[in-house]
Amino acid sequence: MPMPDDDSPSAEAGRSPMLPRNVTTSRPELESRLLGTLDTIDEPVSIATAIRDRDGRILDFRLEYVNLAAARWAGVAREAMIGLITGEILPDFRAAGHFDSLREVVETGVPDQRDGVTVADTVVGGRWIGGIYDLRAIRLGDGYLSTWRLRSAAPEPG
């Protein structure tokens, strides 16, 4: 008697278990294509992973990826941003409540969507980014994917 198809995730080397068996795209190729696609988006995108203490509390986030639009927005080379923690890039990140919002996204899985948020900060080694923003974040693994759109720029304080 023939055995029914096994619907368990594929264990084939390098192939995503999320892909049907007839798809031959490897996981590294799929990831490369996805990140390449994110680079074509004109809106800044960042992906960060939680840094946790021994008790599992989120202490900060480490940037794993920023698209080209995010690097342009920051005025910093993308390679210089990857691997940094959020507080190293944006000095007022915690004080402005952005850390708490992203921690909640990661801990609860509930996406964050805020429009008309005032930001007054300077990217370390980069430029002034003050203004009114629309912010979005979703949980991605043990971290988040975020996007933001500048509605109107604010002048740099004197």
The Cα 123–Cα 107 span in angstroms is 26
How does pLDDT run across 75-90, given as a tens digit for each residue? 999 999 999 999 889 9
How does pLDDT run across 20-64, given as a tens digit for each residue? 666 677 888 888 888 889 999 999 999 999 999 999 999 999 999
Mean pLDDT score, 104-130: 94
Residue 121, phi then psi, degrees to nearest 5: -155, 165
CA 10 to the chain's CA centroid? 27
> If you compute the radius of gyration of the chain from its CA atoms, what whole number of angstroms results?
19
- Joined together, the tokens standing for residue 150 give 């500048």
Q: pTM of the predicted model, to two decimals?
A: 0.81
Burial class (CB in 10 A: 0-12, 13-18, 19+), 70: buried
The DSSP output letter for 141 is S
Using DSSP, state whether 71 is helix, strand or coil.
Answer: helix
Q: Are strands 45-52 and 58-66 parallel, antiparallel or unpaired?
A: antiparallel
Using DSSP, state whether 123 is helix, strand or coil.
Answer: coil
Nearest Cα residue to 107 out of 56, 146, 148: 56
Burial class (CB in 10 A: 0-12, 13-18, 19+), 4: exposed
